[in-house]
Amino acid sequence: MNALSPAWSSFWSEAREIDILDVAARLGCKLKKSGSDYLSSCPLGCASEDGFVVTPSKQIFLCRPSGASGDVVDMVCHVHGSTKTEALEFITGHNRPDRNQGETPEEQEAREQRRLEAQYRAVEIQAEREREREERLKRDEEAVAAILERALPFPDSYAERYMKEGRGVTLPKRMTRDLRFVLSLDYFGYPDAEAKKLEPLASLPAMVALIRNPAADIVGLHLTYLDPEIPRKWRPIGDSARNKPKKFRKVVEKLTGSMIRLGVITETLVIGEGIETTGAFFQMGLAPDDASFGVAMSLGNLCGGSTQTVEHRSKKDANGNPSRTMNGIPDPAKPGVILPEHVRSVILLGDGDSDQVTTRAALLTGARRYANEGRTASICMADPGADFNDMLKGWRG
Ligand SMILES: [Zn+2]
């Protein structure tokens, strides 16, 4: 490539001095901060949620689904499908150094028009997505309210029978304040492996647990669909790979930071992944007398995220590459469950029936996070190959 003329060099450096975040916003990105990154949907439409990542500290972007990445110029090229020169013009807001030579005023006008239209389209797409998001949240909020309206108290319900007879867990009333039961709830799932759309597959009884954020507001429901004949978890029909017996209905975009509270949270908190396993830990009498109980719903929410991941010693992913596990150092930007301030001591429950390296790395990350917050943190692992509910059943013979 020939050396750039001074005019071109300064055109390029002018563009690169403009902050990538500002340019991303002009492209129509709705940026949400996440650690040192900002996340958005892709204005071009590749990433519908937060797969479009802008890292201002490095002045780079990445559109995950499409794989497009690079600096501010590459970003504009990706979104507008333009040449680098056109991208430079968009970023700096003025014409390339040699543009006015040999270009008629009409041509200049037409080019400017194209640029404005591309910008306008990007804004339109983004606004449409925002509308869809708001509608979805409104629908979910109504669904949550409708379920709660029909819900019955947990004591003496079929959900209580499921916990007692199906799981061997008898929860005292003080632990079931946020648990409910609904007689019949439509289950939407995929009828078969090829199906693209959810369809009503069954009408089932369900155990309902309120999910609360750190301020104790209800942000969603955790639903466990039950077999209507036998007090056990429903065994999904249709595409069982995708249809799960547990589902969430939420009134917020992400449940991160929230949990299910099994009673009032005291200074000592035992926190596990599932209602059944956490309940079993209580039932076995393994918790301190003054303990309260919380359910994080997933290992990720129980432990939060780590600053980096490292290669798994032995496990491979679907493509044959080593799986990644957490490096054990908590990332303050990915907190997982956020505990009430008065919690002094945390006991994290680990399942012994999931991959041990992955589980332990996550629990270590979580325990360190709680310790960094000035609390005492300990980890309690179930026997290898079992979760606490399996242990409870073995315990009782
Ligand atoms: Zn994209």
**pLDDT of amino acid 153:** 96
**Which is more confidently placed, 263 or 353?**
263
Give the environment of ion ligand 1: residues with CB less than 5 A: 42, 44, 46, 63, 66
Cα(174) to centroid(ligand 1), Å: 50
- Residue 108's pLDDT band (cuts 50, 70, 90): confident
Which residue, among 305, 321, 322, has the nearest Cα to 313 in the 3D structure? 322
**pLDDT of amino acid 397:** 43
Distances (CA, A) of 163 to 13, 157, 276: 65, 10, 7
In a domain, 219, yes or no: no
User: Tens digit of pLDDT for each residue in 267-287?
Assistant: 999 999 999 999 999 999 999
Cα(61) to centroid(ligand 1), Å: 10
Q: Is the pLDDT of residue 183 over 80?
A: yes
Q: Is the pLDDT of residue 1 over 70?
A: no
In a domain, 158, yes or no: no
Using CA atoms, how far apart are residues 232 and 151, in angstroms rounded to an integer? 19
Cα(79) to centroid(ligand 1), Å: 6
- Residue 395's pLDDT band (cuts 50, 70, 90): low
Determine the straight-line distance between the first and last CA of the chain, rounded to whole angstroms: 78
**pLDDT of amino acid 87:** 92
pTM above 0.85, yes or no: no
Cα(27) to centroid(ligand 1), Å: 11
Cα(12) to centroid(ligand 1), Å: 23
**Which is more confidently placed, 321 or 198?**
198
Using CA atoms, how far apart are residues 207 and 222, in angstroms rounded to an integer? 8
User: Tens digit of pLDDT for each residue in 298-334?
Assistant: 999 999 999 888 888 888 877 777 888 899 999 988 8
Using CA atoms, how far apart are residues 231 and 165, in angstroms rounded to an integer? 7
Q: Is the pLDDT of residue 82 over 90?
A: no
Cα(158) to centroid(ligand 1), Å: 48
Cα(42) to centroid(ligand 1), Å: 5
- Residue 184's pLDDT band (cuts 50, 70, 90): very high
Q: Are 140 and 188 in contact (CB under 8 A)?
A: no
Q: How buried is 83 (Cβ within 10 angstroms: 0-12 exposed, 13-18 middle, 19+ buried)?
A: exposed
Q: Is the pLDDT of residue 215 over 50?
A: yes
**pLDDT of amino acid 46:** 84
**pLDDT of amino acid 289:** 93
Cα(131) to centroid(ligand 1), Å: 20
Q: Is the pLDDT of residue 5 over 70?
A: yes
In a domain, 200, yes or no: no
Cα(297) to centroid(ligand 1), Å: 32
Using CA atoms, how far apart are residues 59 and 72, in angstroms rounded to an integer? 7
- Residue 205's pLDDT band (cuts 50, 70, 90): very high
Cα(33) to centroid(ligand 1), Å: 18
User: Tens digit of pLDDT for each residue in 72-81?
Assistant: 999 999 998 8
Spell out a b/e string for 115-144, using b for 16 or more CB atoms within 10 Å of the CB, else e.
beebbeebeebbeebeeeeeeeeeebeeeb
CATH of the domain at 365: 3.40.1360
- Residue 3's pLDDT band (cuts 50, 70, 90): low
Cα(386) to centroid(ligand 1), Å: 43
Q: Is the pLDDT of residue 159 over 80?
A: yes
In a domain, 10, yes or no: yes
Cα(219) to centroid(ligand 1), Å: 31
In a domain, 114, yes or no: yes
Tell me the CB-side half-sphere exposure of residue 5, using CA atoms within 13 A: 5
And the tokens for 212? 């609360």
Cα(119) to centroid(ligand 1), Å: 15
Which residue, among 321, 313, 379, 322, has the nearest Cα to 346 in the 3D structure? 379
Instruction: Give percent of the chain with pLDDT exceeding 90.
Output: 55
CATH of the domain at 113: 3.90.580.10
In a domain, 265, yes or no: yes
What angle in degrees, to the nearest 10, is found between the helix axes of 84-92 and 72-80? 110
Q: Given 104, 128, 152, which residue is the final one in a domain?
A: 128
Cα(22) to centroid(ligand 1), Å: 17
Instruction: Give percent of the chain with pLDDT exceeding 70.
Output: 97
Q: Given 128, 149, 171, which residue is the final one in a domain?
A: 128
Which residue, among 135, 354, 144, has the nearest Cα to 247 in the 3D structure? 144
**pLDDT of amino acid 101:** 64
Q: Is the pLDDT of residue 396 over 60?
A: no
User: Tens digit of pLDDT for each residue in 8-37?
Assistant: 888 888 888 889 999 999 998 988 888 888
Q: Are 367 and 336 in contact (CB under 8 A)?
A: no
Cα(128) to centroid(ligand 1), Å: 17
What is the pLDDT of the chain when averaged over all its residues?
A: 89
User: Domain limits at 21?
Assistant: 6-128
Q: Given 93, 128, 163, which residue is the final one in a domain?
A: 128
In a domain, 117, yes or no: yes
The total domain count for the chain is 2
Give all strands (DSSP E) within 151-245, no chain letters.
152-153, 179-189, 199-212, 218-225
In a domain, 151, yes or no: no
